[in-house]
Structure 1
Amino acid sequence: MSFGPPPSVFTQSALAADRTARKRRRTKLLGALAALVVVGLCAGGWLLSSAGDDSASADGKTAPVVQSPDDIRETIEKAPGSPEGQLVIEHNEENLSKSTETNPRYAPGTWATDKIFARGVADRIEGYRIKPTYDETAWTLKLGGHLCATSRHVTADGRTAVVVQPPKAEGAETEGVCDQVVFVDLNTGKKLWQKKMPSAQFAYVTNTNLTLTKGVVAVAWGRGSVAYDMKDGKQLWNSTTVSKCEDKGFAGGRALLALVSCGEATDATYKVQRLEPRTGKPQWTYKVASGVQAVYLPSSDPPVLAVAAGDSAVTDLISLDDHGEHLATMSLSGYDAKCGDRYYSSPYFGVTENCDGMVVGRNQAYVMSKENIANDQPSDWIVAFDLKTGTTQGKFDGRWMQMVHPLRTSGDELLIYRRGAGTLAPAAVVSWNPRTDKETPYLFFQLPDDDEYELSDPEQTDIVFEKGRIFFGARALVRDDDAPKDPVLSAIGVGSAGLKH
């Protein structure tokens, strides 16, 4: 199988590929704090009244689990004392005078800890201190090359990994190769270790996938794969031999799944393997039916596959048991799992785990519907599928002009972002219990009008909820043509006005 070296991700030709021209208009966020407070106060009673009775005791909430530092973080949130939102992050990117629609400054990777909100931007990672109405860069880690792959996973003590493309002379044989793994402490900005991936001459931004599982960082790029010990960066195993079957990507978290492709790209077949993270040895193998065009792995434990059967868009979910045996197939006709939909459907910065229109919990998969444009009806909804039977077990409706997006689970509940509707209604984060159908408000706030559409679109923006705060980080930064020298809004965060920071 031959990929052939694509253009560097930052050349004009690569950036222009598969892109739909879209006018973006960004402005600095002026007076937003006042808007948050005013709109929040006006809408607070409305949101609280819609949350239902809070007296139920048998709601099935999961108690927090003590995690070791190397575990992949699973935060269980608590409803804040006040759902009234206040700004805790507002960061603008400087010097974008040469940034255009066909040549944006990419910002892959968005993470948050107790005190730090961190973003990958081009060839660096920056950490911003979380403080109301105050923009302070706590640290900057220069990577010595552009980012090639990131992961949403963070360890319980606030570490993550990225893959970097070291600079090479134009026309060099290894130009555009992504062969450096960097492990980072997000709280301090300290580089913990950096390793060169073995035999990675065919690893590019278009095919490199990175993940984390307990104590292990794993990377795959089609022609090879490698795993490292989080503690010291020691290589645990690698697979770089020429074979008819290749590791395309991994899914991490509670376990480690490998997506394996066999045969040529035009008629490849797929299989999914659960691996022992420290040895790379398969524990079971599930063979995907022939005719599937693409496979994504939104969850490793429970193991869930999102497959595109006969089309490039995801058509079905497949759930497996702990032994890799088929449990259920769920048709996604009418749903929008948003797998591989980032960067205008270009496979940049890792796609294996990224399905931004769905979330997988312990027993259920939550998938958003396609947009409904009918007047006076919910703009979309989220449906809970039982992973054992494939049947639907609950539905959370959006509102007219207010689409809803699943963010992540918090114990046995689902955290949901509900878009705002201008001056008619604020944006909100709510927690939904699918067993009781109870909705609990966490935050309500107003996003800046000029940026609301893009910030609320999970295909264009990382939306992260952590420790009672929601963060929005645009993945591609483009100058305002009307004011090309002005700073560009890169990220904002909102926390509870009743939460100490």
Structure 2
Amino acid sequence: MTQPPQPSDDPPQGGFGAPQDPPPGGFGAPAPPPSDGLTKQPPSAPPGPPATPPPPAGGYGSPPPPPPGGHGAPQTPPPAGGFGAPQPPQNPAYGYPQAPPPGQPPTQPGYGFPQGPPGQPGMPPQQGYGYPTAPMHPQYAAPQQGGGKKFNVRMQIIVAAVVAVALIVGGGAIYASSGGDEGGGKDAPASAGPDGGEAKGGDGLAGGTEKAPSDTKSRIGFQLPHPKVTDTTVVDGSWVTDKVYVKTGVYEVVGYDLDKGTKLWSIPLPGQVCAASRHMSKDFRTAIAFQEGKPSAADKYPSCNQIGALDLAGGKMVWNKSVTSDSNGDEPIRFNEVTLSGTTVAAGGTSGGAAFNLADGAELWKPKTDANNCSDRGYAGGEALAVVRRCGGYDEAQLTIQALNPATGAPLSSYQMPAGVDYASIVSTKPLVVAADVGDTAGDGSGISDFFSIDAATGKLIVRISADADRYAAECGSTEVETCHSLAVGDNRLYVPTEEHEGGGEYGDTNEIVAFDLTTGKLVGGRADAGDSYTLTPLRMDGSNVIAYKKPPYDKGGQIVSIDGSTFKETVLMVNPDDEAVRDAETSFSSDYSEFLYEKGRLFISEKMISEPSKNASADDKQYLVVSFSTV
């Protein structure tokens, strides 16, 4: 069976960090340096891995095993009232209208609402949680000394309530018109950069093709049991075609009926999958990397040196092959990432990169010896092809981002990453967006301190966007090039979730999705609110809309929503059952270590990595490889 990631000549990657509670003084207030364990820590190890982990299989860093129970694991129910139950106002910093003290001007709600400049009448000095600011309308400001009638306490309370309601109801309009620049705009050259593209039309929602059903209540589709394994095993890779759901299993890739989950076909593999492309061609072909064989007494950790093309419509392997390099003799090189762009399959790792024709496996390029010790560490595909290229020794490495000709591998443009960047991830190839932890300043294991919007035609930096790790919750694998999740790019915007923070109810956290303009680097104004005790995670773009998953509170089912990319208006596409057994199955998956695919009324949630169940696990602690929901 597959083993965890193989040894690499690169330093180990950091674990993903869990979000933390907001600091005292309201969410978004400046936090003091951590001194008592408030720094984010990696999640705990999964149940049942070996006491001494074996060497990794992939080389350039693979995702760590999932924590027990998952990111969304059900919690012990709170006292009567529950998550989201109406609560009396607790804290003026979280949006409740408050009566001002006698003689003081009215205040406005805190967390997330627009704030005016410090010192403006009727406005508190603190900045909202990462959102643009807007001045208060003059009619709501307290009168100035020396003129007009004096407000009494009763009138001040009324005005304060009016302000709060006006801001809540009109918040979207205020954000949409404001041009806040918090967190954005560094090093922007004069060039406007690439066009983000027009919104893709469809017969569904404006800007997208996903339709809201007449009844959004879903039913459970199917549940695939957790395969029996004795070691940590990679099961990365899942795809949805027009007729089949495809999932990586143990020594196989399997096609299942979309509704019933019955096995339609299986592609057997000589070794375990160690990487899978997230992209498909129009005729439903994709690519995987897998080990050359199964573990044996002679070779406990088979090399991940095979690249294969899969026909997901026909359920067959089209071709598979390995490649050697000039510096590696006859020994096939190892890969730990694979992607697809058009008809080009590109695979990368610590020994360099190679590419093949999707149709017949013809070799397009392979690693070559370079006088500057340069190599392609990993590629990102989709609408275009880009690479992270590393030159120099370990202590003096220099990373370059290149847009490539997918047919030849020739660079079309190059952008040199700034000093202090040891690893970089490509978020999107069209437009070209890169994420990096510059100088290891993120501090939370997310792999992101900054985003870089790059003109793919010229290689010039359009804008560098500072993404405060205490505010934003997107994540990238620190060593893999195309493993970023919980974010989306489209219509020349970058959509990211905020970190979880206290909501309006007594129990349960919440968050929002906001967007940065990839030309100016500024927050565009507006946000999508998850609602009390729910948290939003972007999954993908649908034209100019964002498809997002709402992780539920302990007593509800999750939801799928479509968010208008311009107005942030949310349209509910799916509401999952709140039956306890179904909830337990849904929330057993971690958003950090699982794959969420939503296509035309069907949601598939699956594991990326599995391990032997804990010996202390009870029979009631059911684990699944896949669960699905459907409204069709």
The TM-score, its normalising length taken from structure 2, stands at 0.63
1:368–1:202 CA distance, 2 compared to 1 (3 A): farther
Aligned residue number for residue 62 of structure 1: 200
- Does the CA-based 8 Å contact 2:221-2:629 persist in structure 1? yes
Number of equivalenced pairs: 435
Separation (CA, whole Å) in 2 of partners of 1:159 and 1:379? 38
**Partner of residue 251, structure 1:** 380
Residue 181 (structure 1) aligned with residue 181 (structure 2)? no
Q: Give the direction of change, closer, same or farther, for the CA distance of 1:168–1:190 in structure 2 (3 Å limit).
A: closer
Does the 8 A contact of 2:234 with 2:272 survive in 1?
no
Partner of 1:450: 584
| Alignment-derived partner of residue 405 in structure 1 | 537
User: How far does residue 12 in structure 1 lie from its aligned partner after superposition?
Assistant: 3.7
Q: Which residue is 2:161 aligned to?
A: none
Residue number in structure 1 paired with 2:400: 271
2:279 corresponds to: 153
Tell me by how many angstroms 1:202 deviates: 7.4
Distance 1:171 1:411 in 2: 51
Flag the 1:168–1:445 CA change in 2: closer, same or farther, 3 A: closer
1:440 aligns with 2:577: no
C-alpha contact 1:463 1:471 (8 A) present in aligned 2: yes
Q: Which residue of 2 aligns with 1:358?
A: 487
Q: Distance in 2 between matches of 1:294 and 1:398?
A: 32
Q: Is the 8 A contact 2:227 2:250 kept in 1?
A: no
1:309 matched to 2:451? The reply is: no
How far apart, in 1, do the equivalents of 2:236 and 2:426 lie? Answer: 19
Q: Residue 356 of structure 1: SS of its match in structure 2?
A: coil
2:515 to 384, 404, 407: 384
Q: Deviations over 1:423-443 (max 9, x none)?
A: 3x4311111113223211111
Kindly indicate whether residue 216 of structure 2 is the aligned counterpart of residue 83 of structure 1: yes
Contact 1:89 1:494 in 2 (8 A): yes
Query: Secondary structure of the equivalent of 2:55?
Result: helix
1:158 aligned partner, one-letter code: F
Question: Is 1:493 the counterpart of 2:631 in the alignment?
Answer: no
Q: How does 1:128-207 map to 2 (within 5 A)?
A: 128-131=256-259, 134-167=260-293, 176-199=302-325, 201=331, 203-204=333-334
Indicate conservation of the 8 Å contact 2:345/2:357, yes or no. Answer: yes
Distance 1:438 1:486, change over 3 A: closer
SS of residue in 2 equivalent to 1:450: helix
Deviation at 1:182, TM superposition (A): 1.0
For 1:266-305, list aligned pairs within 5 A.
Answer: 266-305=395-434
Q: 1:240, CA displacement in angstroms?
A: 2.8
2:531 maps to a residue whose letter is R
Contact preservation (8 Å) 1:454, 1:460: no
User: What is the CA distance between 1:370 and its match in structure 2?
Assistant: 1.7
Q: Distance in 2 between matches of 1:202 and 1:3?
A: 16
1:337 match: secondary structure: coil
Aligned partner letter, 1:435: S
Contact 2:209 2:542 in 1 (8 A): yes
Residue by residue over 1:276-304, the C-alpha shift from the partner in whole angstroms, topping out at 9 and shown as x without a partner, is 00011111100101111321001011000
Are 1:371 and 2:500 counterparts? yes
Looking at structure 2, the residues matched to 123 and 464 of structure 1 have their Cα atoms a distance apart, in angstroms, of 22
Is the partner of 1:23 in helix, strand or coil? coil
In 1: Cα distance, 2:300 partner to 2:363 partner: 22
SS of the residue 1:310 aligns to:
helix
Residue equivalent to 1:23:
68
Residues 1:174 and 1:236: Cα distance change in structure 2 (over 3 Å) = farther
CA distance in 1, matches of 2:415, 2:503: 41
Aligned to 1:39: none
- 1:163 & 1:444 partners in 2: Cα distance? 35
For 1:197 and 1:174, the matched residues in 2 are separated by 22
Larger radius of gyration: 2
The whole-number CA distance in structure 1 between the counterparts of 2:227 and 2:276 is 23
Instruction: Give the secondary structure class of the aligned counterpart of 1:239.
Output: coil
2: CA distance between counterparts of 1:179 and 1:110? 21
Name which of 325, 329, 339 aligns with 2:460.
325
CA contact (8 A) 1:224 1:241 kept: no
Could you list the runs of 5+ residues in structure 2 that have no partner in the other structure? 1-6, 12-48, 71-171, 173-197
- The one-letter amino acid paired with 1:186 is L
Q: Residues 75 and 247 of structure 1: is their aligned pair in 2 closer, same or farther, counting only changes over 3 Å?
A: farther
**From 549, 557, 572, the counterpart of 1:417:** 549
1:104-143 counterparts in 2 under 5 A? Answer: 104-131=232-259, 134-143=260-269
SS at structure 1 position matched to 2:290: strand
Match of 1:431 among 562, 567, 572: 562
Cα-to-partner distance string for 1:124-157 (whole Å, 9 max, x where unaligned): 11111112xx330111111111112111111122
Q: CA contact under 8 A between 1:259 and 1:270: conserved in structure 2? A: yes
Q: Counterparts of 1:203 and 1:358 in 2: how far apart (Å)? A: 32
The alpha carbon displacement at 1:81 in A equals: 3.4
In the superposition, relative to structure 1, how do residues 174 and 89 fare at CA in structure 2: closer, same or farther (>3 Å)? closer
TM-superposed CA distance for 1:467, in Å, is 2.7
Q: Is the Cα contact below 8 Å between 1:113 and 1:466 reproduced in 2?
A: no
Q: CA deviation at 1:332?
A: 0.9
The residue matched to 1:449 in structure 2 has which SS? Answer: helix
Distance 1:306 1:21 in 2: 23
| Structure 1: distance between partners of 2:64 and 2:309 | 31
Residues 107 and 197 of structure 1: CA distance in aligned 2, closer, same or farther (over 3 Å): same
Q: Distance in 2 between matches of 1:120 and 1:194?
A: 16
For residues 248 and 515 of structure 2, the distance between their equivalents in structure 1, rounded to whole angstroms, comes to 32
Q: CA deviation at 1:167?
A: 2.0
Instruction: Please state how far the C-alpha of 1:24 moved relative to its aligned partner.
Output: 3.6
What is the RMSD of the two structures over their aligned residues, measured on CA atoms? 3.3
Structure 1 segment 82-101 matched on structure 2, within 5 A: 82-96=215-229, 98=230
2:339 is equivalent to residue 219 of structure 1: no
Q: For residues 10-43 of structure 1, give each alpha carbon's deviation from its aligned partner in whole angstroms, at most 9, with x where no partner exists.
A: 9942379996894349xxxxxxxxxxxxxxxxxx
The whole-number CA distance in structure 1 between the counterparts of 2:588 and 2:333 is 30
- The 8 Å contact of residues 395 and 434 in structure 1, kept in 2 or not, is answered as no
Distance 1:355 1:108 in 2: 14
Question: Partners of 1:486 and 1:435 in 2: how far apart?
Answer: 42
Report the Cα distance in structure 2 between the residues aligned to 1:95 and 1:427, rounded to whole angstroms. 27
- Corresponding residue to 1:235 among 363, 366, 379: 363
Runs of 4+ with deviation above 6 angstroms = 15-18, 171-174, 484-487
Q: Does 1:466 align with 2:594?
A: no
Any stretches of 5+ residues in structure 1 without a counterpart? 26-51, 53-59, 66-73
Give the drift of 1:224.
2.1
- Counterpart residue identity of residue 565, structure 2: P
For residues 356-390 of structure 1, give each alpha carbon's deviation from its aligned partner in whole angstroms, at most 9, with x where no partner exists.
Answer: 12111131111111221455386111111111111
CA 398–266 in structure 1, closer or farther in 2 if over 3 Å, else same: farther
